[in-house]
Structure formats: C-alpha cells, structure tokens
C-alpha cells in the first residue's frame, strides 16, 4: 500500500490548486471536513518516521531487533494506530472492487 500523493508530480499549477505553500483553491474532503492544504503538508516529520517504520513492522522487522516487548510504548501505539488505519483503507478499497 502506498500514499497517493507525490510532490514530484505536482507542477506549479497543481501546487497552487492543492495548497502546497498556502491555502489551495480546491479543497480535499476528509473525515473532519474540508481542508485547503495538501494533506502531505499537514503530516509532521515524526509522523513520517512512524509511517516509514510501519513498512518495516509489516515485514516483522522491529527497531530493536527482538520482540515487541523491547519496543517503546510510543512505537507500539503508533504501529497499532497505523495498522488500524491501513486496515480501514484496505477494507474501503475492497468494497470499491466488489461494486
């Protein structure tokens, strides 16, 4: 699974429309309502690190190289949260395919 946005694909027009540097022209619909900034701009660098770590977690590669009991509570909470969110995305994609 991958994110659907790639900053390298946006030209100057898309950056303006999507709100790369400032409020965009076209809103994104989220669970919390409309946002006028590129969703990637709202993600912190720490969150990106957890998203990156999640891909290793899915391959059973843990930062401390042992059992999950040797990982921090923050890491475990982040992986559980990401796992739940990715499961929702996968479920929604499966429902679309069935239609």
CA distance 46 to 80: 16
Does residue 95 have a pLDDT over 70?
A: yes
Looking at residue 37, its pLDDT comes to 93
Looking at residue 17, its pLDDT comes to 92
CA distance 69 to 74: 12
Instruction: Give the rounded percent of residues in the chain with a pLDDT score beyond 90.
Output: 52
Could you read off the pLDDT of 80-89 as tens digits, one per residue? 999 999 999 8
Could you read off the pLDDT of 26-64 as tens digits, one per residue? 999 888 899 999 988 888 889 989 999 999 999 999 988
Secondary structure letter of residue 71 according to DSSP: S
CA distance 41 to 37: 7
Q: For the chain, which residues make up each domain, given as ranges?
A: 10-42, 43-99
Number of helices and strands (H, E) in the chain?
3, 2
Instruction: Give the rounded percent of residues in the chain with a pLDDT score beyond 70.
Output: 96
3-state secondary structure of 80: helix
Torsions phi, psi for 18 (to 5 deg): -90, -10
Average pLDDT over residues 8-36: 91
Overall pTM surpassing 0.75 (yes/no): no
């Amino acid at each position: 699974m991958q994110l659907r946005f790639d900053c390298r694909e946006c030209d100057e027009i898309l950056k303006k429309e999507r709100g790369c540097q400032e409020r965009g022209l076209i809103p994104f619909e989220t669970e919390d309502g409309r946002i006028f900034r590129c969703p990637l701009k709202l993600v912190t660098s720490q969150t990106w690190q957890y998203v990156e770590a999640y891909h290793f977690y899915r391959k059973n590669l843990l930062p401390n190289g042992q059992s999950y009991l040797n990982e921090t509570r923050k890491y475990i909470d982040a992986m559980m949260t990401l796992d739940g969110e990715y499961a929702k995305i996968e479920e929604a994609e499966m429902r679309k395919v069935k239609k």
